Each structure stands twice: as structure tokens, then as C-alpha cells.
Amino acid sequence: MPKFNSKLVAKYRRWGLPLTVTGLCCGLVWLIGCAKTAPPVPPSLELAKPVRDLTATRQGNRVLLRFSLTNHATDGGSFRAWGPVRICRAEFEAKAEPMVNCSTVLAALRGEDLGLKVHQKEDQQVVATFEDTVPAARPTGAAATAVYAVEVLNSYGRSAGLGNQVTVPLAPALAAPSEFHAEVVAEGVALTWQPVALEASIANVNYEYRIERRDAKLGQSGSGDAAASLACVVPLGTGSRCLDYGTEWEKPVVYAIRVATLLPDRQVVMGEVSAPIHMLAHDIFPPGVPQGVQAVASGAGQQVFVDLTWTPDTDADLTGYNVYRREDNGAFTKLNATVVAQPSYRDDEVTGGKKYFYVITALDVRANESAKSEEASETVP
């Protein structure tokens, strides 16, 4: 029998353990502690994380859905067992209620069709879109709504439930007005169109024409992004013409018109957009004719001159004035070498004893010149 540590043998005898080699080895294992094993890991359920960023935009009778898909599973792993991606819709005549399940399936899309790589383990994300058409037979009251959601199924037909739900109003969207026309006038751009007739009115629902203006370099108007600005807003039934004072001369712009449906809760349903009008507001319009021209000669004993004054022109793009003079039946000649900035001028190239006739014109920043003012005359002493 091999030799054992006397203290260890004493402990074994005190605990009643056998002093065999096998028993001693088992005791050592017991003293040191038994090996611990990790709990068994349950198999992955292979459920995709629900969509959480679904958005819906309505224009006319089209609803554009936009959402992102990832290959993340609910248990933290990678999801690769792709089944159909279902687009769900429910309709309500009054206040919308959350969908419990996907009762109406608009489409069942394949992950591969949306750009997902089924066997890829690394993180991936794709942005998917789907366009729905507002159903013809639908509730049409002011509170009528449709609710959309996306459900991602695995290859076994199971899912982690619906993703976030979005609500879209179902109030009618009107067609774009016809015969939309734009014409440059002195004050800006005059816009006209044919009025749109309502088939039936809905309580608490109003409509207005919205005319949009966009820099032509940024594309056509009507796409609804921030680059478009409202040139005019005209309530339906109050007219079919507006004047855009905000256009910039010599800058190419694009105009479009549509009808907005206004709901009681401040929601807006945008109707179909018209064909765009591309135009350049070319300024061929001169400023107003100067008024109230007066001529006053210098007094006796002074160096001879004639002082001219007139009422200031109020055109926003005014740059100044020209001064013209003639003698008796002669032709007018311009006196100023540069544009006169103020509504006054001193003519000191005159001769005593002569009578002079004066007219004033106004100029804008594009060198458009007004007609001549009424004559003012003065005899130099």
C-alpha cells in the first residue's frame, strides 16, 4: 500500500472513508469540488424581430409604405429562416383600433425579393417599400382610417407578431385641377386653373387648392419634399386664380397644383398633383412713371442753376432715375452720366434768360426704363 499523508489519513478515518486508492482518489475529488457544467442552451426559435419603423404616406389614392428589415432574431442571433413578409391592412369607419393579427393580407413578399441574403450571417439591413391603392369601396367619413402593419414570418410560418402600426386617413383625395396656367405679370406670376367640383360633401371636411413653387434645378414640383414652397393657398369655392408675389425674376421655377383635403384633427390628405409648369419669370416691366416733378431756378445774384425734385418711386426693384432736358422745340437729351439715386437733381449747366423743359424717368435693376414724366419748365433769371 502506498504511503499517504498522515493528516489526510486521519481526516479519512474521522469521516469514515475507506483507505483504498480508489476511495482516496474519490475523496480527493470530493474535497476539491465537483466539476460544474453550463445549463443546456435551448434551440433558437428562428423568429425575426418585428418591424419597428414602418411609415405610411398618402398621395391621391396611393399609400406608400416604407420599412426596414434586418436579419436579427428575437433571441439575439441571426435570422436566416426567411418566410413571407406580409403587408397587413385593416379598415375602420370610426376611431382606428390596433390590429391583433394580420386579418387582411395585401401581399406576401419574399425576403430575397426585398434584397435580403438568406444565408448571410453578418448583420444586414434593407429598406423596403410597398405601394397600396386605397380601396374604392371604403368608409368615407371624416374619421375613416386604414391601419397598416408588417409581419415577418419564418420558413415554418411563425412570427414574433406584428410590428408597429400606422394609421392613414381614408377621406377622399381629389383629382388635380385641369387647365393649370401661369403668366408673368408686373406684380409676379398669375396662376389660373379650372375649378374642381365636389361629388359629395363630408361633414367637418374642407378642401383647398395648394400651388407649389420649386427651384427648377431641384426637379419637378409635387414630390412633397421640403424644397417645394407654397406660392398660394386658395379655399375651394372661393376662386380659381392667385398671384405669386414671391417669385424671383430671372430664376427658373416649376409650378404645380393639387387639392388638399383638410380633416378635423389637422390631418391632411394630399390629392393628385398636376403636370408641372416650367417657366422663367423674365422682367420686362418698367417701374412706375415719376410724379410731381418741379423745377425751381436759382435766385437773383446767385450762380445760375435749376433744382429739380419729384415724388420718390416706390417700386421694390428701383435702382434710380434719368433726367432729360430740352430747350423750346428741341429734342430731349439726358443730363446725368450715372443713374440718379435720389429724387432730386441740380442742373447747373444753364444760361440766364433761357427757358428749360425737364422730364424724369425711373429705372429698375434690370435697366427697364419707365415712360417719361410730365414736363416741368423754368426760366433762368
Please tell me the CATH code under which domain 181-280 is placed: 2.60.40.10
Nearest to 272 by CA among 64, 1, 62, 40: 62
Which cell numbers hold the place of 32? 476539491
The whole-model pTM stands at 0.68
Domain ranges of the chain: 1-36, 55-169, 181-280, 291-379
**Residue 40 has what DSSP assignment?**
P
Whether the domain at 181-280 and the domain at 291-379 fall into the same CATH topology? yes
The partner residues of 105 in beta bridges, in order of sequence, read 88
pLDDT value at residue 13: 53
Give the fold, CATH level 3, of 55-169: Immunoglobulin-like (2.60.40)
How would residue 75 be classed by pLDDT, with cut points 50, 70 and 90?
confident
Nearest to 116 by CA among 84, 75, 90: 84
Say how many CA atoms lie within 13 Å of 380 toward its Cβ. Answer: 19
Average pLDDT taken over every residue of the chain: 85
CATH architecture of the domain covering 291-379: Sandwich (2.60)
Name the 3-class secondary structure at 183.
Answer: strand
Say how many CA atoms lie within 13 Å of 346 toward its Cβ. Answer: 5
pLDDT digits (tens, 9 = 90+) for 222-257: 444 447 899 999 999 999 999 999 888 889 999 999
Residue 365 identity: V
